[in-house]
Amino acid sequence: MAEHVYDPYEIESRWQRVWAQERTWEVSNEHDARGSDGNAYVLEMLPYPSGEPHIGHLKCYALGDAIAHFNRRLGRRVLHPMGYDAFGLPAENHAIKTGEHPRDSTAASIASFQRQFRSWGISIDWSRELATHEPSYYRWTQWIFLQLFRAGLAYRKEAAVKWCPHDQTVLANEQVDADGRCERCGHLVEVRQLEQWFLRITDFAERLLNDLDEIDWPANVKTMQRNWIGRSEGAEVTFRCDELGIDYPVFTTRPDTLFGATFFVMAPEHPDVLRLVEGTEHEHEVQEYVNTALNETNEERGNAEKPKTGVALGRTVTNPVNGEQIPMFVADYVLMEYGTGAIMAVPAHDERDHAFATAFGLPIRRVIEPAGGSDAADAGELPYTGDGVLVNCGQEFDGMANRDALGEIVAWLDTEGKGHASVNYKLRDWLISRQRYWGAPIPIVNCERCGTVPVPDEQLPVELPDIEDYTPKGRSPLAAAEQWVNTTCPECGGQARRETDTMDTFVDSSWYFLRYCDPHNDSAAWDPEALREWMPVDQYIGGVEHAILHLMYARFFCKALADLGHLDFQEPFAALFTQGMVTKDGAKMSKSRGNVVSPASIVERVGADTARCYILFVGPPDQDADWSDAGVEGVHRFLSRLWRLAAETAERTGAAGEQFDVSPAMEGEDLALLRKTHWAIDKVGGDLRRFAFNTAIAAVMELLNDCSRLRDAVEDETMRFALASAASLLFPFAPHVCADIYERLTGARVWEADWPHAEEELLETDAYELVCQVNGKLRDRVQAAAGAGPDELKELCKLAPNVQAHLDGKEIVKEIVVPGKLVNLVVR
């Protein structure tokens, strides 16, 4: 007998050649007889090509590929494409350092990603490959921008924006972390007043919130998006400054506490603050305070722990519910970006207002008492933010439950014209302009005569010019490309200058999944027919770190494009799976820690099948997993044993086709192995449907263990069936070795085979081990016939020797029978 040695290198390269030559994973957009019900769009988030793929990529694509394969085997046509999020800062920073054009370094990275994805055997439709930095792609990114611009959803305004002094560019709110640092480089972010481009995502806040109910996403991701959108119901209430005759609306979620408002606070950025004190004794002090406040970093300003500061404006406003004059202040704890930039302060029932009132000696008036008694009304209990009964609110409202009063007070304000119900969101408009080179140019021309003019569609793409110096100097490096900047106005033909900012790369990645459906279309971003064939994505897969940014922006794009008639669906990703991180020795992998595991070295040592199986076997894929080289060896041993036993068996049986001479009429070990095989078929199918890849692989391991144990005890045909089934079931995880085994045993191609079917009658057994409990404790096990009734089972249990020992002299007070499982006798 020839010696059989598992050689992953030979097996993997051979099958990869087959798939590449035959373009096995390509799908067309043509409807086939099955119609679009038989389609599945399986998509992993596209990688940012920097250096080489890391273990996180391996996990993501191994996971997605398993789902893609499983869907194909269930008879669906599967769209499983790949592309690259190729614009971005790392390539540009590299260019600043070395002078290498970002296009060149990006191309090198992409080549490396392509090589590795192929070496992993991921079943990608390479005919649809794209990269966001190609003019043929960003032409349509620009087109989408102009669609939004014409619809009033893209606009330019001067605003206080987050500026990263290191990257020399502005950042979206979402790109600044909790400490007020740049998400990318970690530098403290500053605030600058600049004219910038924004997308009106806030118009979609309500729909972005409500439609979360329609999609099958992890609860934590939905929660994160809900928190980020931050919807609050309340009221807008007008406070009038009688001296100057100006109305100041405020937003509050607690109009029920209006009678407790004892002062009024404006944000330092509020445009009226200086006007209110102009020419008064307060002017100087206020001006100084505002200056100091505006120079604070996000980090300082955002710290809720720091003592409250502020200064009086020397003016008052009128509380609309009781006519009281309450003093006005400016304080940095009030934010300009939320609500109206001014608040009514209710120190008795708000912690921040309470802290401010205490620091400044301002009156604190309780207007809500906890239900259950007024003895609790001592000052030590304030601020009180819970519910209760109104007090000090005038005859009309006193004694009312605050939740009821809330509506009544708003209704009253409304009739008086002093306020109305209102909703506020934390979500801000999306700032998309970047003063950087390596991004899609914003397709706008600034003409002195015509103003802001969109570049006509037929002149797209506005191509990125080559430049000498990538160094950011507070303006876009593109501004130095004089020839490119100076142009003519598309409307009047006069002298004009191009917009020199580029777009945030999240714009590029907010629609790439649409382009995959029709990637070579050069007359439109997509053909609506193509989208109808594939969209929405049936299963999206990626890291939870994109829970807010990418996943919110992509949803926004779809809603906006649907409103403009370009799409006929609202949500891009019907189902989402977020994978956990891969760590080494319990820590995130990083160069500085020196604990990086490179997929290339693993694949070289043990093969892609082992690497892919291991990363899915190590634990539930949505949880973090710690990389263990010893664990990899274990999986490698498993695949070796499987392949060797299959090769030996095939040597005896030959590739004897996909029909197996096995039947439930078999006996003894043959029947046992047949049953085990059907058990595995049932188990793996169920596990795949719930993303329990670790237990699915474990089930095939169990099957192989039985095969090994019974290798000399069963007929060749039984063994051939068991091993071919094992290969068939494991194929989504270890495609090369399983294709090889399946071909050796059957002569057929496993990826063309239907997913195996578990026979109902082989999942049942005619006898089982009945668990016998006394007082809930396991005391014995006996064989019971499958069809045995409750009485029969009780008798069996009582006869079990060790049960008798525990029944000795005691009275049975209750008997629980779970047919097929156990009998529990309760004794006293």
Partner RNA sequence: GCCCGGGUGGCGGAACGGUAGACGCAAUCGACUUAAAAUCGAUGGCCUGACGGCAUAUGUGGGUUCGACUCCCACCCCGGGCACCA
Query: Could you say which residues in the range 423-442 bind RNA, by CB under 7 A?
Result: 424, 426
Angle at the Cα of 136 from the Cα atoms of 134 and 137, rounded to 5 degrees: 70
Nearer Cβ to RNA, position 548 or 748? 548
Which distant-in-sequence residues (6+ apart) come within 8 Å of 507 by Cβ? 141, 144, 145, 432, 440, 553
Contacts with RNA, 562-581, as mask; x by CB under 7 A: --------------------
b/e string for 279-297 if b means 16 or more Cβ within 10 A? eeebeebbeebbeebeebe
Rounded (10°) angle between helices 735-746 and 8-22: 90
Asked if 692 interacts with RNA (CB under 7 A), we say yes
Nearer Cβ to RNA, position 105 or 424? 424
Question: By CB under 7 A, how many residues form the interface with RNA?
Answer: 86
Q: How far apart are CA 648 and CA 662, in angstroms?
A: 19
Which tokens sit at 223? 């929660």
Which tokens sit at 331? 């304080």
Nearer Cβ to RNA, position 13 or 173? 173
Q: Interface with RNA by CB under 7 A: which range of 135-143, 284-292, 337-345, 525-533?
A: 337-345
Asked if 686 interacts with RNA (CB under 7 A), we say no
Asked if 178 interacts with RNA (CB under 7 A), we say yes
| Residues 25-84 contacting RNA, CB under 7 A | none
Integer angstrom CA distances of residue 372 from 382, 393, 770? 16, 18, 57
Q: Are 409 and 256 in contact (CB under 8 A)?
A: yes
Q: Are 25 and 80 in contact (CB under 8 A)?
A: yes
Residue in 327, 335, 319 with CA at minimum distance from that of residue 360 = 327
Residue in 814, 656, 627 with CA at minimum distance from that of residue 747 = 656
**Candidate residues 335, 600, 748, 753; the one interacting with RNA per rule CB under 7 A:** 335
**Candidate residues 167, 332, 504, 743; the one interacting with RNA per rule CB under 7 A:** 332
Nearer Cβ to RNA, position 548 or 753? 548
Q: Are 88 and 438 in contact (CB under 8 A)?
A: yes
Q: Are 348 and 260 in contact (CB under 8 A)?
A: yes
At residue 393, φ and ψ (nearest 5 deg) are -120, 20
Nearer Cβ to RNA, position 376 or 805? 805
Q: How far apart are CA 433 and CA 476, in angstroms?
A: 10
CB of 633 to RNA, least distance (A): 6
DSSP state of 188: B
Using only C-alpha atoms, the chain has a radius of gyration, in whole angstroms, of 34
**How many residues does this entry show for the chain?**
828
3-state DSSP assignment of residue 733: coil
Asked if 773 interacts with RNA (CB under 7 A), we say yes
Asked if 626 interacts with RNA (CB under 7 A), we say yes
Nearer Cβ to RNA, position 360 or 569? 360
**Candidate residues 368, 603, 611, 701; the one interacting with RNA per rule CB under 7 A:** 701
Q: How far apart are CA 336 and CA 160, in angstroms?
A: 10
Nearer Cβ to RNA, position 23 or 306? 306
Q: Interface with RNA by CB under 7 A: which range of 184-192, 224-232, 571-579, 603-611?
A: 224-232
Beta-bridge mates of residue 216: 575
Asked if 330 interacts with RNA (CB under 7 A), we say no
| Residues 300-319 contacting RNA, CB under 7 A | 301-304, 306, 308
Q: Are 712 and 617 in contact (CB under 8 A)?
A: no
Nearer Cβ to RNA, position 525 or 710? 710
Long-range contacts, 360-364 (Cβ 8 Å, 24+): 360/308, 360/310, 360/329, 362/262, 362/263, 362/327, 363/262, 364/262
Contacts with RNA, 803-822, as mask; x by CB under 7 A: --xx-------x-x-x--xx
Beta-bridge mates of residue 445: 453, 498
Q: How far apart are CA 39 and CA 628, in angstroms?
A: 37
Nearer Cβ to RNA, position 44 or 236? 236
| Residues 245-274 contacting RNA, CB under 7 A | 250-254, 267
Nearer Cβ to RNA, position 75 or 634? 634
Contacts with RNA, 354-393, as mask; x by CB under 7 A: -x--------------------------------------
Asked if 543 interacts with RNA (CB under 7 A), we say no
Q: Interface with RNA by CB under 7 A: which range of 209-217, 331-339, 395-403, 601-609?
A: 331-339
Nearer Cβ to RNA, position 156 or 352? 352
CB of 354 to RNA, least distance (A): 10
Asked if 544 interacts with RNA (CB under 7 A), we say yes
Contacts with RNA, 497-536, as mask; x by CB under 7 A: ----------------------------------------
Asked if 628 interacts with RNA (CB under 7 A), we say yes
**Candidate residues 543, 620, 654, 819; the one interacting with RNA per rule CB under 7 A:** 620
Q: Interface with RNA by CB under 7 A: which range of 50-58, 386-394, 402-410, 614-622?
A: 614-622
At residue 43, φ and ψ (nearest 5 deg) are -140, 130
Residue in 631, 653, 647, 634 with CA at minimum distance from that of residue 737 = 647
Helix or strand run (H / E) with residue 252 = strand 246-252
Contacts with RNA, 711-750, as mask; x by CB under 7 A: ----------------------------------------
**Candidate residues 618, 662, 714, 727; the one interacting with RNA per rule CB under 7 A:** 618
CB of 425 to RNA, least distance (A): 8
**Candidate residues 127, 280, 495, 705; the one interacting with RNA per rule CB under 7 A:** 705
Asked if 212 interacts with RNA (CB under 7 A), we say no
Maximum alpha-carbon separation in the chain: 109
Angle at the Cα of 566 from the Cα atoms of 560 and 567, rounded to 5 degrees: 80
Asked if 334 interacts with RNA (CB under 7 A), we say yes
Asked if 769 interacts with RNA (CB under 7 A), we say yes
Nearer Cβ to RNA, position 229 or 455? 229
CB of 460 to RNA, least distance (A): 35
Integer angstrom CA distances of residue 235 from 251, 723, 763? 6, 68, 62
Asked if 232 interacts with RNA (CB under 7 A), we say yes
